[in-house]
Chain A
């Protein structure tokens, strides 16, 4: 194998994750998460639920996210979830998940398709009501949805009170980050 001296960069093109604090809000790139989508094949819903349960992968209901010891997940669509795992131990996440599920589910690596920005601070609803249709005042921790931010389809996952993740298309990471910054400046 050729000796490539390639240097990994973050979605925003930096050496280390970028972070900015605007008033009470901090927006941080998060690059330590591996992602894979997990879709139960037709008629395998029960089998997938049992396997996931044994493997420590929570499968939350529509509009929800869940977290276990190693894996965190959020609901994507009927019979489909996004699985998050620590990048350091699960870089090849499909190879780790596939032996569990075999032919019952279709698993696709998503890690480098997405850029994740964690937003922390008080009064996030004031910022996100400027950004998207997702009503943070009506949804608490453990909620997750896909919505439109800056004309881009993004997932919003509420991790805890005052902490949420925006997961947007990596190729448009700068646009998502710009939208978040602009909304934070506008709100605070």
Chain B
């Protein structure tokens, strides 16, 4: 048992825990918006396209974290602009971008012989290899994203409930939409290392979906989603050590179990 507790005094475990928890805190409210606005596939597309950003970053020798962030912001912007085209439906557009950029990213990485990349780490996350500078990025971004979310919370909720009413009441709906999309893109970019390209959206969406079962207001849902996300991170990390399985998938499995448990509990009451 003391062995087990001593785990939590190890640097890399503390880094992993701090990174996972700070992400879970902002993932609660952001994930709620993704659920409310049916943007899950949008988040997926951003995550997939980030692999292309990673490839380009590695080729040009840029800071990998920075190149992921820039590519996520770039694709978020492109998606928002292209989405206004009436000739391609949103889900088709997302399908094209998500998989073409993922494929292109993998092809570019494979062609660049000089680069040896652990692709699995990007696809499924490598929370335990997080460095102090990775952690600094994650904390800086989550503080920034969290601060902006708090400041514009009522505006974001208002445009989500009814954009026209919000606009008549004086909200700048277009700008707020873009801001929200950029916050999601930023968060996805820094959580790449935690759960990986393929699992990021689940960390945003599953705690929010679970929290829906416990909430009567948007604020309750957002806060409870954060709490559920934090629980999933802690137990996911623990389970990963006990069972010696990859951390990212373990966290996602924990979140899913929480969702299932809550669904069964609430279903029993109804």
Q: Do A and B bind each other?
A: no
